[in-house]
Every structure is written in C-alpha cells, then in structure tokens.
Amino acid sequence: MERKGDYPNQSISLPIHIENQSNSQFYGTLSLSNGIELPCVIFVTRIETESDWLDIAIPQASFEKIFPYKYPLTYELNPWLNKIDEIYTRLAETIFANSPFDLAMIGEEITGYTNQEEITVKIVKNFTCILPNHLQRQLGLEGEGKELSNKLRMFEQTYSE
C-alpha cells in the first residue's frame, strides 16, 4: 500500500458491499479545480432500522494549511467554504446518479443531525441540504432551491443557529 501524505493510497473496488450493522472507513483525496488536493475520510455506516450513512469528511487541519481559516467555521468568516460545498455538491450528484439517496447534508459536524423521516423545512433552512424529488414534495419545497441534475435541488443555509 502506497502512502500519500498521511493517508494510505489504495484503490477499492466498486460497488462497495455494505454488511449489516457495519461501519467501513476509507481514505482518499478531493481535488480542487486549482490542483490542490485535500485528504478525506469516507465512512459508510449501516445500522438496522435506520438510514445508511455515507460521510465524507475533510480534516479541519487541512483547511488551516491551505485557506485563511477562521473559527467558527462560517461562510461569513470563511468564504472559501463555497468552493468546498461545490465539491460536495458535485459528489452528491455523481453518487445520486449511481445510487439514489434520500437526503444529503453539507456542513460541519452534520452526521446524524436528522434523517429523511424527521427532516423539517426549518432544518432545510438551517443547513445546506440536497433533496431528491420525493422529499421536495413531502416538505412542500418543489421548485425552490437551486436545481441540480437528476431532479435534485440544493437548499443553501439561509441563517445560522
């Protein structure tokens, strides 16, 4: 196994087989349009009777090395976060085209905050969410937000909690 920086560089075969009651971890990189690569950790989690989760996390220390990072991690203090959101949005579109999901959320420490059964319009306004058509209808949000591919719509955070 080769190493790139602090992360192992090993290819995985797709599709990934998810076992019942499992948590798999993978390492990778996300490439920005300017050639900068950010390390990431990918977690695939399955819990019986709950949603499957795909988490793609970028260590904050990586942001601190590359961008003028200011905490708290808000768009107002860190406008470069918009570039990161664009990467996550493209990833969501690609994933959805191959494996449709019920809900995608973008943000710091967002894992497990809600799921497709418990999400509300208030949550959609507090976080950046990507919703498939059926969830847009369920929440009465058809035609709102930014149109993406595959009838997905992105609803960007409108205010901070």
Tokens, residue 63: 């942001």
- Is 4 a residue whose pLDDT tops 60? no
Task: Quote the pLDDT of residue 9.
Answer: 57
Task: Quote the pLDDT of residue 1.
Answer: 37
Residues found in the chain: 161
Q: What is the CA radius of gyration of the chain?
A: 16
- Is 39 a residue whose pLDDT tops 70? yes
Give the max Cα distance, the chain.
49
What is the average per-residue pLDDT within 42-67?
Answer: 86
Tokens, residue 21: 């009651």
What are the tens digits of pLDDT across the range 70-110?
988 888 999 999 889 999 999 999 989 988 888 999 988 88
Task: Quote the pLDDT of residue 161.
Answer: 45
What is the average per-residue pLDDT within 41-49?
Answer: 84
Task: Quote the pLDDT of residue 3.
Answer: 44
Per-residue confidence band for 2, with pLDDT thresholds at 50, 70 and 90: very low
Give the burial class of 155: count Cβ atoms within 10 A of its Cβ; 0-12 exposed, 13-18 middle, 19 or more buried.
buried
Is the full-model pTM beyond 0.95? no
